[in-house]
Structure 1
Amino acid sequence: MSFSSRLRVILRSKSNRALTQLEDPREALDDSYEQQVKMLQQVRLGLAEVATAKKRIELQGQEMGGRYQRLADQAQEALNQGREDLARTALERRSLLEGQVAAIRNQYLALAQQQAQLQDNERRLAERIAAFRTEKETIKATYAASEARVKANEAAAGIGSQMGTVGTDLDRAKDRVAQMQARAAATDELLSSGALSDVTAAPDADLERQLSDGATRADVDRQLQAMKSARAADQGHGARARGGTDAWLSIGQAPTTP
Structure 2
Amino acid sequence: MGLFSRMETVVKSKMNKLMDRMEDPRETLDYSYEKQLEMLQDVKRGVAEVATSKKRLQLQRSKLQQNLEKLDSQARDAIKADREDLARLALERKTTLNTQIQGLDQQIEDLEKEQEKLVAAEKRLSTKVEVFRTKKETIKAQYSAAEAQVKINESVSGISEEMADVGLAIERAENKTENMKARASALDELIDTGTLDDLTSSGDDIDRELAKINSATTVDLELEKLKKEAGK
With the length of structure 1 as denominator, give the TM-score of the two structures. 0.53
Following TM superposition, by how much is the alpha carbon of 1:19 offset from its aligned partner in structure 2, in angstroms? 4.6
- Report sequence identity in percent: 47
CA distances 1:83-111 after superposition (whole Å, capped 9, x unpaired)? 11111111111011111111111111111
CA distances 1:213-258 after superposition (whole Å, capped 9, x unpaired)? xxxxxxxxxxxxxxxxxxxxxxxxxxxxxxxxxxxxxxxxxxxxxx
Q: Aligned residue for 2:82?
A: 82
Amino acid of the structure 2 residue aligned with 1:110: D
CA distances 1:144-182 after superposition (whole Å, capped 9, x unpaired)? 0111011101110019xxx9xxxxxxxxxxxxxxxxxxx
1:82 is paired with a residue whose SS is: coil
1:68 aligns with 2:68: yes
Alignment of 1:93-172 (within 5 A): 93-158=93-158
Q: Aligned residue for 1:49?
A: 49
Amino acid of the structure 2 residue aligned with 1:46: G
Following TM superposition, by how much is the alpha carbon of 1:18 offset from its aligned partner in structure 2, in angstroms? 7.2
Following TM superposition, by how much is the alpha carbon of 1:131 offset from its aligned partner in structure 2, in angstroms? 1.0
2-side partners of 1:156 and 1:18: how far apart? Answer: 28
2:82 is paired with a residue whose SS is: coil
Structure 1 runs not aligned, ≥5 long: 1-15, 164-258
Q: Aligned residue for 1:190?
A: none
Amino acid of the structure 1 residue aligned with 2:139: I
2-side partners of 1:124 and 1:51: how far apart? Answer: 19
Alignment of 1:166-245 (within 5 A): none
Q: Aligned residue for 1:5?
A: none
Following TM superposition, by how much is the alpha carbon of 1:17 offset from its aligned partner in structure 2, in angstroms? 8.8
Structure 2 runs not aligned, ≥5 long: 1-16, 162-232
2-side partners of 1:35 and 1:18: how far apart? Answer: 21
1-side partners of 2:18 and 2:27: how far apart? Answer: 15
Q: Aligned residue for 2:191?
A: none
Following TM superposition, by how much is the alpha carbon of 1:20 offset from its aligned partner in structure 2, in angstroms? 2.5
1:158 is paired with a residue whose SS is: helix
1:21 aligns with 2:22: yes
1-side partners of 2:75 and 2:68: how far apart? Answer: 11
Q: Aligned residue for 2:59?
A: 59
Aligned length: 145
With the length of structure 2 as denominator, give the TM-score of the two structures. 0.59
Following TM superposition, by how much is the alpha carbon of 1:21 offset from its aligned partner in structure 2, in angstroms? 3.2
2-side partners of 1:133 and 1:26: how far apart? Answer: 12
